[in-house]
Amino acid sequence: MKELRIAIHQKDLPAGEGVTLYTGCDTPRMLKTADYLFNASKLMIFGEDGILREAGGELWANTDQKLGSPQLSITIPPHGFAISFGNRGNEEIRACFDFAMENAMLYNATMVIHRRVEGRVEGDELMLRYEEELPRDPHALQFLFIGNSCTYFHGVPLKFRSLCKAAGRAVEVTYCTHGAAYLHQFAAPDHDYHKLLITRLGEKKYEFAVFQDAGAATLDDMENSLRALLPLVEENGAKPCLYMRSAPTAADGKMQEQTASLSELYRGAGETFRMPVSAAAEAFVLCREKYPELELYADDRSHHSGMGSYLAACCLAETFLGIDTRGNAYDAYFGRETAMKLQEIAHQVCGRK
């Protein structure tokens, strides 16, 4: 067990290079990104029980998105606390942060953490405890995710893995993703994304390869890309699958229109290549109709929110492994009532008939 004692440099002030502590209160406490200057710092958010719940960093409050997708605030759970730290002179806490993030692709955002990190504050010191080496299940199903931020944002693959674990299915996930990537870039032999894919395929054998294309891709684009990509993953031994990402806008009307286009695109490619399609986009529409109080989109109104990522992960589990997520014990800290609503929607759209 790794144990750290780290000096706290300041409290409840805008983020700096050293460690800054933010304390919670009796109710959830929201800190606005613009007020606390989180754009150059990492963040770790702990619950009342001292368990790390959420982490990330480099948050921007720019609504024009010129510096990336905005995350306008973070929320400290009741009686919890949060810390920020800069990139210089914080090697020990950065190692703990990296352990918690477990190589997740994430930019300018925070996400739910799945590895166990314990934290507490004593005076002007932060105490952290975590296991550096975790046992691996040699029988775990290996999933390779190939796509862009609509796959990695808010840790969709990690939530999928946690849902599977709660259902008694051991799964490991590997990322082959990059922001704004198209599948044709992974298919082009001279492109860096293709080289990354070849590297990932050479590292181990996978049972499943999950493809997700950019929002502007056409059916011809996707099918031409898949013709080049499918032999590569099938040679590895992986079963190819499609993940129908959510519509790229939260706006009513436009969201439904874009979902119809995505359905035509992904279901068309799925039929052509006889690949299963996890229809998260369709689940988003049904959820908006049935539970409009659930916020499925992030502050940029394009990427999915934490709840949206949970819904997408439920869809993956239902489609690819036939897991009935209804009643699944993993709720990603959203609470049982919210989780059950999202599970219900995923099962209705993606459950095997």
The torsion angles phi and psi of 236, rounded to 5 degrees, stand at: -70, -25
Q: Is 135 among the domain residues?
A: no
N residues, the chain: 353
Predicted confidence at residue 99, as pLDDT, reads 95
- Whether residues 153 and 115 fall in one domain: no
**Is position 62 within any domain?**
yes
Task: Mark whether 335 and 253 lie in a shared domain.
Answer: yes
- Whether residue 28 is contained in a domain is answered as yes
136 in a domain, yes or no?
Answer: no
DSSP single-letter state for residue 247: P
In a domain? residue 304: yes
CB 53 within 8 A of CB 333: yes
The whole-model pTM stands at 0.94
Residues with Cβ < 8 Å from 66, sequence gap 6 or more?
none
**Last residue of a domain, which of 130, 159, 178?**
130
Q: Flag whether 65 is in a domain.
A: yes
Q: Region 146-172: what's the mean pLDDT?
A: 96
8-state DSSP, 91: H
> What residues make up the domain containing 338?
141-350
Answer yes or no: do 77 and 197 share one domain.
Answer: no
Query: Which residue, 110, 130, 150, sits at the end of a domain?
Result: 130
Is there a single domain that holds both residue 108 and residue 53? yes
The Cα–Cα gap between 265 and 282 comes to: 12
Q: Do 270 and 296 belong to one domain?
A: yes
Q: What confidence tens digit (pLDDT) does each residue in 237-256 have?
A: 999 999 999 999 999 899 99
Task: State whether 86 and 156 are in the same domain.
Answer: no
Q: Are residues 124 and 159 in the same domain?
A: no
Other C-beta atoms closer than 10 Å to the C-beta of 170 total 13
> Helix, strand or coil for residue 174?
strand
**In-domain check, residue 234:** yes
Q: What is the mean pLDDT of residues 280-298?
A: 97
With H, G, I as helix, E, B as strand and everything else as coil, classify residue 59: coil
Q: Quick one: 91 and 155 in the same domain?
A: no
Q: Do 123 and 154 share a structural domain?
A: no
The residues, any chain, with a CB within 8 Å of residue 165's CB and separated by 6 or more, are: 171, 330
CATH number, position 207: 3.40.50.1110
- Whether residue 41 lies inside any domain: the answer is yes
Q: What is the mean pLDDT of residues 276-281?
A: 98
Question: Which pLDDT tens digit goes with each residue over 33-53?
Answer: 999 999 989 999 999 999 999
Please indicate, yes or no, whether residues 173 and 322 belong to a single structural domain of this protein: yes
Shared-domain flag, residues 18 and 77: yes
72 and 211 co-located in one domain: no
State which of 98, 130, 162 marks the end of a domain: 130
Q: Is the pLDDT of residue 347 over 70?
A: yes
pLDDT band at 273 (very low <50, low <70, confident <90, very high): very high
Give the count of domains, the chain: 2
